[in-house]
Amino acid sequence: MSGKDITEITVGNAIDGKLGLSDLRMDPAALAHQAVLAEQGGNPQLAENFLRAAELAVIDDEQVMALYEALRPYRSTATDLEELRASLLTKGAPRCAALVEQAAIAYARRGLLR
């Protein structure tokens, strides 16, 4: 996390090379706020998505890509998914970890593990 404030996203800072990839990640607090709005608006699933997103917002691009890749069909063994789940927990991503855990059960039943 760069920790930059939104107001620092300016043309001047872009010219000065002060902005980078990490500045394109959402602030988890902003996503948590959007989750509250979504829940109030009657869409708890959208809220859940924003909360998962808040977890991913502090994870760098390559690891996010790797997480997606691991959940595609026939990519991971049960052990791979268990390790992934555990590592997500240590990264403070319990919702994503739960999703991986649920996937592992479903993939085992449906033959979608590697």
Interface residues with another protein (CB under 8 A) are 6-7, 9-11, 14-15, 17, 19-21, 23-27, 30-31, 33-34, 37-38, 41-50, 52-57, 59, 61, 64-65, 67-69, 71-73, 96, 99-100, 102-103, 106-107, 109-110, 112
- CB of residue 24 to another protein, shortest distance in Å: 5
For 25, 37, 92, 93, the CA distances from 59, given in Å and listed in that order, are 9, 24, 10, 9
For 40, 42, 68, 77, 87, the CA distances from 74, given in Å and listed in that order, are 38, 35, 13, 8, 20
The amino acid at 58: V
Q: Indicate the residue among 9 and 78 with the shorter CB distance to another protein.
A: 9
- CB of residue 2 to another protein, shortest distance in Å: 11
Token look-up 């997606």 returns 68
- CB of residue 25 to another protein, shortest distance in Å: 6
Distance CA(94)–CA(87), nearest Å, equals 10
- CB of residue 74 to another protein, shortest distance in Å: 8
